[in-house]
Structure 1
Amino acid sequence: MITRQVVIAGAGKVGRSIAAELLENGAEVLIIERDPQKVRVDALPGARWLLADACELAQLDAAGLSDFTVLVAATGDDKVNLVVSLLAKTEFGVPRVVARVNHPNNEWLFTESWGVDVAVSAPRLLTALVEEAVSVGDLVRLMRFRQSDASLVELTLAEDGPVTGRRIGEIDLPPDTALVVILRDGRAVIPSPDATLERGDEVLAVATSSEAEEALALLLGPAPQARAITGD
C-alpha cells in the first residue's frame, strides 16, 4: 500500500479538520503555518508541523515540497491560497493541488493557470447542498474539477423518475458520464450493474461537459408531465 504524503498550508479550523481526516486514513501529513498561536502539536500529534510562511519559496524548498503528492491550500486568505498553489505546481511539480476558495467572487481565479487542480468553495458547496435539499429531481453541481473541466453532480431520484426501480446495467448512461456512488438510508451503495436505483436515492456522478450534465439530468430526473389532449 502506497502512503499518501500531503502538505497542508494553513492550520486554522479547516486545515486541522482536513489533517485529522487524512491522518485517520493513514496519510502522512505536514502542516505549514506562519502564526505560532495556531501551531497546536498536541491536537494533531500524528502530523508534522512547520512554522513557516508557505508563500516563501525558500521555506517550501526546505520543507521538501517536491516529495509530496498532494498540497492543500487551506488558509483563510484567497491570495495566499493562490500563491501557494502556483508555487507548488510550477516550482515543485506537486501532482495534485487542492485550494480552498473563501470568497465566491474569487472562484474564477482558481484555475489551472494558478496551479489549482480542484477548487473547493465552501459557500458555493453549502448553497448547492441547500438547493439539493429542496429540489428532488433537479441536478445540482457540487464541484468542478478544474484540470479536466469535469463536474461532480448530485441528483435525488423522484418517485416517478424514468430510471427509478431499474437495474443500473439496464440503463444507457449518456456519453462522458459515470455514476460514482449512491447514498441510501445513510449508507453508500456502489453502482454495480446489478444495483437497483430506488426512490429517494442520492446519486453522485461525474459529467465531463455541460451537455453531459444536461443529458444526465434528463435521464435521472422526473418523468416529463403528460400533456392533456383537449378537443375543439
Structure 2
Amino acid sequence: MRVTIAGAGAVGKSIASELIENGHEVMLIERDLAEVAPEAVPQAEWVHADACEVASLEDASVQNCDVVIAATGDDKVNLVVSLLAKTEFAVRRVVARVNNPRNEWLFTESWGVDVAVSTPRMLAAMVEEAVSVGDLVRLLTLRQGKANLVEVTLAENTALAGRPVRDVPLPADAALVAILRGGRVIVPQSDDPLEPGDEMMFVAGEGVEDEIHRVLTSGDPGGRELI
C-alpha cells in the first residue's frame, strides 16, 4: 500500500516508521524545511512542499496513493489536505489527525475525512478504560461516527459469570470481537464462558451503546436480570 503523510513532525515520522516496518511505501510531505530530515526515516520518500497546494500534491503524484494521512499539528491544514486529497485526487482513504477536540465536529466526509483520530479523546478513553469496571467506554469512532469500538469490563458480581457467549442477548447492530482476559486475547466462540474482569470489546452501530451496557449489567435488553 502506498501512503502519503502530510506533516513530518514527531507524529508524522512515527506513523511513517510504523507503516514502513509493516511493509508499506510512505511519502512524507513537509513545508517547513527545518522539519525535512530524511535521515530520520530513510526508507520514506521525502518531499519539501506545501500539502495545501494542489500543484504540490500533483507534483507528488498523490493520485497514485491508496491512503492520505493529514498529520500536521494544525487542524485547519489537516482539513484542507483532507478535502483536496478526496475531491481533487480521489484518494480512496483519508485519515486526519484532530488536535483540538473542539474541532472534531468538522472532521467528517464533508471535508473528505474518512477516519478522524483525536489524540486527546483516545487518551481520555484509555484512562477511562483503565479505571472503569462495569462502565462502557468508547475507544474509537469508525465510519464517521456510524460505528464505534467500545469496551466494557465485567464486574465481579455480574450475572453473566459462567454464561457462554451465546447467552449474551446483544442488539442486532453490535458484535463482540474480542475478550481480554489477563494476558490473553480471546477470539470469542459461542461456547466460551464469561468471567468477572473480562474486558469485552465490541463494534457497535449508532445508538446501541446504552443497550449493550444494559445487557452486560442486567443480562437482558429489556432490563430483566439473568437467572
* 1:55 alignment counterpart: 52
Give the aligned length. 222
**Kept in 2: contact 1:177–1:206 (CA 8 A):** yes
Q: Output one character per residue of 1:103-151: Cα deviation in whole Å (capped at 9) or x when no partner.
A: 0111111111001111111111111222222221100112222436111
The alpha carbon displacement at 1:84 in A equals: 0.5
Tell me which moved more, 166-175 or 56-65.
Answer: 166-175
Residue identity in the other structure for 1:185: G
The alpha carbon displacement at 1:32 in A equals: 1.0
> Any gaps of 5 or more consecutive residues in structure 1?
227-232
Structure 2 counterpart SS, 1:147: helix
Residue identity in the other structure for 1:57: V
The alpha carbon displacement at 1:163 in A equals: 3.0
Tell me which moved more, 41-50 or 167-176.
Answer: 167-176
> Any gaps of 5 or more consecutive residues in structure 2?
none
**Superposed counterparts of 1:103-118, under 5 Å:** 103-118=100-115
| Percent identity for Structure 1 against Structure 2 | 60
TM-score (norm 2): 0.89
Structure 2 counterpart SS, 1:155: strand
Of the three residues 166, 171, 191, the one matched with 2:163 is: 166
Q: Output one character per residue of 1:89-111: Cα deviation in whole Å (capped at 9) or x when no partner.
A: 11111111111110011111111
Distance 2:134 2:28 in 1: 41
* 2:83 alignment counterpart: 86
**Kept in 1: contact 2:3–2:69 (CA 8 A):** yes
* 2:66 alignment counterpart: 69
Does 1:184 pair with 2:181?
yes
* 1:230 alignment counterpart: none
Structure 1 counterpart SS, 2:140: strand
Distance 1:166 1:28 in 2: 46
The alpha carbon displacement at 1:185 in A equals: 2.5
**Kept in 2: contact 1:160–1:222 (CA 8 A):** no
TM-score (norm 1): 0.87
Report the CA distance shift for 1:68/1:167 in structure 2 as closer, same or farther (over 3 A): farther
* 1:218 alignment counterpart: 214
**Superposed counterparts of 1:104-143, under 5 Å:** 104-143=101-140
Distance 1:105 1:30 in 2: 29
Does 1:28 pair with 2:16?
no
Q: CA RMSD in A?
A: 2.1
The alpha carbon displacement at 1:167 in A equals: 2.8
Distance 2:193 2:42 in 1: 44
The alpha carbon displacement at 1:200 in A equals: 2.0
Distance 1:195 1:13 in 2: 42
**Kept in 1: contact 2:145–2:206 (CA 8 A):** no
Report the CA distance shift for 1:34/1:187 in structure 2 as closer, same or farther (over 3 A): farther
Does 1:15 pair with 2:4?
no
Distance 2:186 2:21 in 1: 22
Report the CA distance shift for 1:137/1:115 in structure 2 as closer, same or farther (over 3 A): same
Structure 1 counterpart SS, 2:215: helix
Tell me which moved more, 156-165 or 20-29.
Answer: 156-165
